[in-house]
Amino acid sequence: MYETGLDIAEQLKQARAHIYEGRFEAALQCAAAVLQDEAVNIDALYMKAVCERYLGKYDTALASVDRLKGLSPDFGRAYQEEGHIFKAMGDDERAMTAYRRACQCNPALQASWKAQGDILESWGRRDAASEMRGQEQRIATMPKPLVAVSHLLHEGKLIKAENACRHFLQKNPKNVEGMRLLADIGARLGILEDADFLLESAIEFEPDNIQVRIDYIQILRKRQKFAEALQQSEALYQRDPENPVFQSLFAIESMQTGDYQHALDLFDKVLQKLPGDPVTLTSRGHALKTFGRHEEAVLSYQKSFESDPGYGDAYYGLANLKTYHFRDEELSLMESQEQGNQLSYQNRIHICFALGKAYEDRKDYDTSFGYYQRGNELKRVQSRYDADQMTAELNSQIKACTPALFEQQSGKGHDAPDPIFILGLPRAGSTLLEQILASHSQIDGTLELPNILSLAHRLRRRKQASNDSLYPDNLQDLDAAQLCDMGQEFIDSTRIHRQAAPYFIDKMPNNFRHIGLIKLILPNAKIIDARREPMACCFSGFKQLFAEGQEFTYGLNEVGRYYSDYVRLMDHWEMVLPGAVLRVQHEDVLDDLEGQVRRMLDYLGLPFEQACIDFYKTKRAVRTASSEQVRQPITKASVDLWRYYESHLQPLKEALGRNYLEPQQ
């Protein structure tokens, strides 16, 4: 019987005990009591569904599972429980779908692998059943603490997962699966260097562990170590050139290093074995888009969601072309998927942003904003972004990077004049500036390079006993040799992205946080601040789904605060480094292209070339969200787009504060 006066943790503990003892009515009462106090408690709702199933209340159990999936769309145990319910009802088809989704959300759900094997065996599909048994056995042989870590990891409880994994590795320091899981946790927390080191060490212990090698390739890619990732993926491919997983990995890494034709050839090989595979078709679409083959990219994306109507990345691939307008039937298909409850969390996010763009193109701005808002809310749930922490980080730059610092450290660093940094906020016109300048015969366009951010991260991790970060305070302690070595490292590590031009562009927008570091290690580097009117810039960021990072854009208040902090820091850089940064206003480029081109080239000390005016004719891979837009002549179509959404943007105006100026009447 349920006891009154217990707190939620005790009530849940009691419910678990009742379930273990088979007292499902009592457990159900405990779960219901918790839900009275906390209607969105995931654990209580899950236990409620379990009890209802055991009590034969299948309809209410399914309703509980639906609610659970609505609250936590990637909660693997919810899909596993749904599978159990359908299995109990004798509906093996739907049970199979649920178990498959459960394992996609959480690969450590042994019961779901077993259930799939049982169903496939009953269907006479013994080879497929054997694969499921293999996965079941893999989990059965894993140390129980690591199974628990895996559950925590895939349920988003990263700090608990990290602590449990570290505790296990203290006793088992060479356990490769433990190292792999800790690397996965590190990657999700953004600690990529540690993840890289862990996986490299794990490979030394088990060179033939394929999953570790795949994880290592993905980490190398995230760190933009593209040459190493390509080498690793090619080594896997050479082991078994007919393996579609290895073909796909090799294709992706070929794409990252600019060999798009090879990537496309490999994707075609995958599709010969797996015709209609939505992931491969979408990846192929991304490659075609970056390569400038627009019409073929559209067809590849369309084939992807024709094969799997719930594969959101394909819809968003079309939306992210910026030039594509969804057909009526495509819009209806997206809406029916979004309104259902079968989408994974990530697919729902992609479809919400795609629907936002679809209704924007139809000038139904209220409906459009609703979908953009929904997509951003879903992204924010996944985000660890803290606006106060970001403000404090930028304030630390202002405090540490004083005129005295630059006077003390002047004349040091590496004297290379090669780098041109284009920085600021995303969606501020930086891709347009890069395309213009990369059209010059003496300038190579590259990527949003992570090298400065990685260097700052290394400096930040030099801890004092108090565990506070030294960076950027420790910039004053670096001697001439250290500063020069850091500059040389930047030049050397970015060389893979360059062609033969004497100058090259690093377009990482977040580098504005580290201009002090840049000017100390590369005093002759040129810096361009790509600036855009605040409402237009922030709203454009808000309606953009980024591949990774830029988490400050997933809320109107957050993006407004970030813009204000950015302006404040850029004002500081102008004060302590007068004339070092050229500000280029996006609206000025649209109004006077040639004037602004000449102004930038004068700042860079380069002669004028007509190709910079005809930038849209330049053939090069462009990997940002603006790739299709910069292949067309200048347009002012989106300059005032935000005004159609203005009734929804009061939180943004308030966050911008003095940076928002009321339009003149």
Q: Judge whether residue 298 has pLDDT over 50.
A: yes
Q: For 438-460, what is the mean pLDDT?
A: 91
* Nearest-angstrom CA–CA distance, 635 and 111: 56
pLDDT at 609: 96
**What whole-number percentage of the chain has pLDDT above 90?**
79
What is the tens place of the pLDDT at every residue in 39-65? 889 999 999 999 999 999 999 999 999
Q: Judge whether residue 621 has pLDDT over 70.
A: no
Q: For 604-619, what is the mean pLDDT?
A: 91
Element containing residue 385 per DSSP (H, E): none
Residue 403: pLDDT band (50, 70, 90) is very high
* Nearest-angstrom CA–CA distance, 365 and 644: 7
Residue 466: pLDDT band (50, 70, 90) is very low
Task: Select the more confidently predicted residue: 446 or 355.
Answer: 355
Print the SS3 string covering 416-472.
Answer: CCCEEEEEECCCCCHHHHHHHHHCCCCEECCCCCCHHHHHHHHHHCCECCCCCECCC
User: Is the link from the previous residue into 502 a cis peptide, with omega within 30 of 0?
Assistant: no
Task: Select the more confidently predicted residue: 565 or 467.
Answer: 565
**What whole-number percentage of the chain has pLDDT above 70?**
94
Q: What does pLDDT average to over the chain?
A: 91
Q: Judge whether residue 619 has pLDDT over 50.
A: yes
pTM to 2 decimals?
A: 0.84
* Nearest-angstrom CA–CA distance, 497 and 437: 16
Out of 234-243, 320-329, 472-481, 652-661, least confident range: 652-661
Of 579, 603, 454, nearest to 521 by C-alpha is: 454
Task: Select the more confidently predicted residue: 636 or 260.
Answer: 260
Q: Judge whether residue 301 has pLDDT over 50.
A: yes
Residue 635: pLDDT band (50, 70, 90) is low
Helices (H), 592-646: 593-604
Give the torsion through C-alpha atoms of 182, 188, 193, 198, to 10 deg: 20
Q: Judge whether residue 660 has pLDDT over 70.
A: no
pLDDT at 587: 94
